[in-house]
Chain A
Amino acid sequence: MTKNASTKLFESALVSAAIKQSFVKLDPRIMIKNPVMFCVEIGTAIMLFVSAYSFINSDQGSPGYNIALFIILLLTLLFANFAEAIAEARGKAQADSLRKTREETPAKVWVDGKIVSKSSASLKKGDIFICETGDLIPSDGEIIEGIATVDESAITGESAPVIREAGGDKSSVTGGTKVLSDKIKVQVTTEAGESFLDKMIALVEGASRQKTPNEIALTILLSGFTIVFLLVTVTLKPFGDYANTTITIGALISLFVCLIPTTIGGLLSAIGIAGMDRALQANVISKSGKAVETAGDIDVLLLDKTGTITIGNRKATNFFPIDIPEHHFMESATAASLADETPEGKSIIELAGLKGYKHPATIGSNSFTIPDARTIKFTAETRSSGIDLPDGRKIRKGAFDSIKKLVESEGNIFPKEAETIVHTISSNGGTPLVVAENGKAIGVIELQDIIKPGITERFERLRKMGVKTVMVTGDNPLTAKYIAEKAGVDDYIAEAKPEDKLEYIRKEQQSGKLVAMMGDGTNDAPALAQADVGVAMNSGTQAAKEAGNMVDLDNDPTKLIEVVEIGKQLLITRGTLTTFSIANDVAKYFAIVPALFMASIPGLQALNIMNLGSAESAILSAVIFNAIIIPLLIPLALRGVAYKPIGADALLTRNLLIYGLGGVIAPFIGIKLIDLIITPLVL
């Protein structure tokens, strides 16, 4: 699956499925979950009777007019249902494309020392199965034996294979991925139908979708508005009696439906589903809708340095030869790094290459070995590594103090110049690597963390959102501080142990803040569980995935930032459409109230500021506008209102102008236009 796969909002297959669902959802038992639209349904039912009645008796207006009202109200319901159905269909399509990868795969199950072939659907938690080269992994699980390269592109879209092995943080495998080499024994960790993906699909499809706390609160507020408008409409009848005005049932129901917040009421669940769907599009599986909502509230973000703030590992950035030509220094440094498998070691060869030096061994060969040379492996004791060349040169590279000790043990003096360079590099946040040849220091290599391009801007964006960023690193405080400043994070935890993360999260939470973090290892699990939003990487251990409330399929540590924005977008979309919906009522009043009383109180004609054609056309126009605004806003509900990190104040002003003021003005124009079109038809 590629990112943002379905940017097209209305695919024809989805649309036809959604249309079908729109009718199914007319079932009052489903409808009652949405109080606002349920009221519309009752109104629609009443209009059906009134339409029938108006064929016999004319005191409720003409049959044509009443039937027209009935049809428009029915359309209002269908539009609202369609919004929800299309959101569900899109989410389902998204999830299906993920699920396709894990349909019926035969599993080689290990039963009492024998291999039995079973279907993946019949796997139980605790079962053990075996996968060999070329096999699809039938279920999520934990490797208990062996090591294998796995192609996870079906889930992550990342084509490079990854290594998975028993024990440690890389023991977890995902159903639907493919073993490329070797053989592993895997224990099933989730029942069929209960994996994260299954949970997510259920959430999107609506079967187990629960309203989030904020959605519940908003529904209550909208119900409150509905009750007020019910009062307004019902009491209008005796008011009209007093004023000697007969108000038809059709007019009262129209007024009621127009006033209650049908726009947001119709789109509310679509907005919620679309939020989950956007998370899924970002390849984040959320275990609940609430987690997405909470993400928008995050105050503190814990980010690992490596991979999030800096690119992978440290890289060599500079050579500082002492008393020898640079060419000589590069030759020695490269030779000492040839056998070094670490990224730092490779980066030394790269840097030398960039500076125009290529060691003979690296040209035209991949083995990087010098015949007859003896490589000295890095040990924690010596804290250095190196090579003994056939020409007798002994080259060592390592940390400053270990090389100094080596040099001095050979009876040589460690040069002052080298010490100065080492100090400068350290205070710049770099790591110095000293190179010695035959017991004499010949220069220093500077290793630096490379801060990801664009990451500073993202932190700036987060700061404007009010999110504090915290860098977590194993580096010493000096280096950590330097990188923190350079990258623009607000705080850092240096020499961090997993417990430190947990501690930090607790501390922030105690002061009332909401904390998000990302993790992959088993030792991250407590912190992931403690965090308000814990995003586990899909490559992480099962324990980590169980502890978090979201799983990132891409294993992308910067994903948290997107998740926060998705959460905010979700809330903003709800807020702005509520505002828009309520603001619309002003114009609807000016359309309907004069229409109700024009005949009996000619003076109120003055309120007909839109100069609508007739009482009937005015009411029809308002109801039609009320209906078609729902499908018109579906794209906005599904895409979400864009979030701009410009500070709460500016954001409020902006959204208030667009959706508040816009919400007041738009219906005046819309209703007038509709009236111009339908007036000739009504007459």
Chain B
Amino acid sequence: MDTEILGVLVLFIVTVLLAIPLGKYCAKVFKGEKTWLDLLKPVEKMIFKISGIDPDEEMDWKQNMKAMLWLNVIFFVWAFVILITQSLHPFWNPDGIASMEPTTAFNTAISFMTNTNLQHYSGETGASYFTQLLVFCFLQFVSAATGIAAMALLFKGIVQKQATHLGNFYQLFLKSSTRILLPISVLVAIILVIQGIPSTFEGAAPVITLEGDTVNVARGPVAPMVTIKQLGTNGGGYFGPNSTHPFENPNYITNLIENCIILLIPIALVFAFGFYIGKPKVGYYFFGAMTVIFMSFVAISIYYEMSGNPNITAMGIDNTLGNMEGKEMRFGTAASSMWGVSTTSTSNGSVNSMHDSHTPLSGGIFILDMMINAIYGGVGVGFINFFVFVVIAVFISGLMVGRTPELFGKKIEAKEVKIAALVAIAHPFFILVSTAIASYLAANNPDIGWLANPSFHGFSEMLYEFTSAAANNGSGFEGLGDATPFWNILCGVVMILGRFIPIIGPIAIAGSLASKKYIPESAGTLKVESFAFTAVLLSVIIIIAALSFFPALALGPIAEFFSR
């Protein structure tokens, strides 16, 4: 028991220790300072030359967002076309996988473009090697880079003084891929291959079991995809069972490594912000605020999972290993809880245990984590989401110290508050409204057949699905029959809106802040790097999330918990 918890702590500490230097490095990359990876410059230059883009052109926030959106439209079209035609491709389809049904393809293309990786298909039977590599793996890189580049625009907006431009999206986008994602991926993928994860273009391997049956064991270029799915907070597994599958996550060591890289970039980018604005302390305080929530969630989840299922204990069955339903013996409860909180807080969405089978409050914590969606958060976008909370917290606490609120020397006025409020409303809007539609349909059509579980848990399944889609997380409570046009389309829409509104809004704020006059600090200025502000920030995060979702959570996980 104790070693399980120790494993969780060691994992977290090692991750943070790696994240600090990585954060410093990322800040340098965003600023365009010299790094040892400058040797990639010729490659980047060539890419820009071929695409006809001037990477040094300074663009304002609108131009940058336009660039981002057009790029993503191209990604979507590419993915959608490949998915519905994959049976026709001449190579990299040794197992003869069929083309995808259009609404599922629609959902899947959006899902990977938006860094969600919600999978309404099963990887080994639904996607060819061609699709896995050139759609999924590719989008896992570029969607992550989109998020990171958007965040770098935000950084620039905060330090800019009375200027309109925020840098160049194309350049930041490419650099995020070549300087941050690619090098770490190569390194980690090699380690994972050494640990036994397959990486091959050969088709399924026939294996004769002890009973004498022949089984075709699916395989493929797994290691590279697993790496970027974790590193880029994508979460879309090569195989249907995701990281519970022994080829994706064969042992406790790979579990540690993969969990570490789930958290690595999201945490590093928080530090990167501090380094970028020249106040590392700010990064540490923001990290501290997030970690208070993260660790509380981990503790709650571990506590309930280790305590086991009281109903099973009541039956007189030994429950000392904790609640092992839907978990892998090689990971145990603590590592599964840690992974669960990591994957839901970072909008990753890969799973190493079945979240559906977690005890009610642990499952509820996962949902709440995605409802907040800013505890480290998805690469780039997590910090952008967090920034919205910072704006609101600064506004309220600025008033409380008797100054019209200012953030990093820029006044927060009606315009910024308006955008921040809109973005803060968007997330609950997507989740509550879509869940309400589903609830309404489920309540009025008892034979609709979506829910494997009745009552509160069924409600949690629907709530989880939409929360996951809105948060661009991608994990699911798998009891939900979600491969229907209703879920495909509604989730697809929620994913797109949940992806781009929370990016565009804050970047618009950054654009507005960039053009403002810089006000130097005085003794009357509120410092964000203080305990008092951190307290306000935490209250704002918890209160906005808790107040928006308390009734929904009460009807799902909380009711289930109290009604056992």
Q: Name A residues whose Cβ lies closer than 8 Å to a Cβ of B.
A: 213-214, 216-218, 220-221, 223-225, 227-229, 231-232, 234-243, 259, 293-294, 296-297, 299, 463-468, 511-514, 567-569, 571-572, 574-576, 578-579, 582-583, 585-586, 589, 593, 596-597, 601-607, 643, 647-653, 655-656, 659-660
Contacts and interface: CB of A to CB of B under 8 A. Distances in A.
Contacts of B550: 589, 593
A656 B403 contact: no
B515 to A, nearest CB: 13
Given A466-B524, A571-B404, A220 B399 contact: no
Given A218-B399, A238-B436, A604-B559, A593 B543 contact: no
A652 B397 contact: yes
A582 B554 CA distance: 20
Given A213-B413, A217-B417, A648-B525, A235 B433 contact: yes
A659 B536 CA distance: 12
Contacts of B92: none
Interface in B525-564: 525-527, 530-533, 535-536, 539, 543-544, 546-552, 554-555, 558-559, 561-564
B400 A572 contact: yes
Contacts of B316: none
Given A224-B424, A513-B520, A589-B550, A576 B543 contact: no
Interface stretch (B78-86, B211-219, B439-447, B475-483): B439-447
B400 A656 contact: yes
Contact of B428 (A231, A238, A585, A649): A231
Given A232-B548, A593-B554, A647-B523, 5 more contacts: A214-B413, A240-B555, A512-B519, A579-B400, A583-B543
Interface size class of B (residues with CB under 8 A): 35 or more
**In the complex, the 9 A-B pairs of residues with the closest C-beta atoms, listed nearest first:** A466-B524, A575-B399, A224-B421, A568-B402, A603-B562, A466-B522, A603-B563, A466-B523, A575-B400
Given A293-B404, A579-B400, A232 B551 contact: yes
Interface string B393-435: 0011111111110000100111011100110110011001101
Interface of B is mostly: helix
A236 B544 CA distance: 17
Given A224-B421, A238-B440, A239-B555, A571 B399 contact: yes
Contact of B547 (A216, A229, A607, A650): A229
Given A293-B404, A511-B520, A585-B547, A604 B429 contact: no
B436 A228 contact: no
Given A575-B396, A601-B559, A259 B404 contact: no
Contacts of B443: 238, 241-242
A648 B425 contact: no
Nearest to A650: B532
Contacts, number: 230
Interface of B: 392, 395-404, 409, 412-414, 416-418, 421-422, 424-425, 428-429, 432-433, 435-437, 439-440, 442-444, 455-456, 459, 517-520, 522-527, 530-533, 535-536, 539, 543-544, 546-552, 554-555, 558-559, 561-564
Interface of A is mostly: helix
Contacts of B428: 228, 231-232
A467 B456 contact: no
Given A568-B403, A585-B543, A653 B555 contact: no
A578 B409 contact: no
A569 B401 CA distance: 9
A572 B429 contact: no
A575 B397 contact: yes
A574 B398 CA distance: 10
Contact of A228 (B424, B459, B522, B525): B424
Contacts of B546: 586
A595 to B, nearest CB: 12
Contact of B530 (A604, A643, A649): A649
Contacts of B547: 228-229, 232, 259, 582, 585-586, 589
Contacts of A220: 414, 417-418, 421
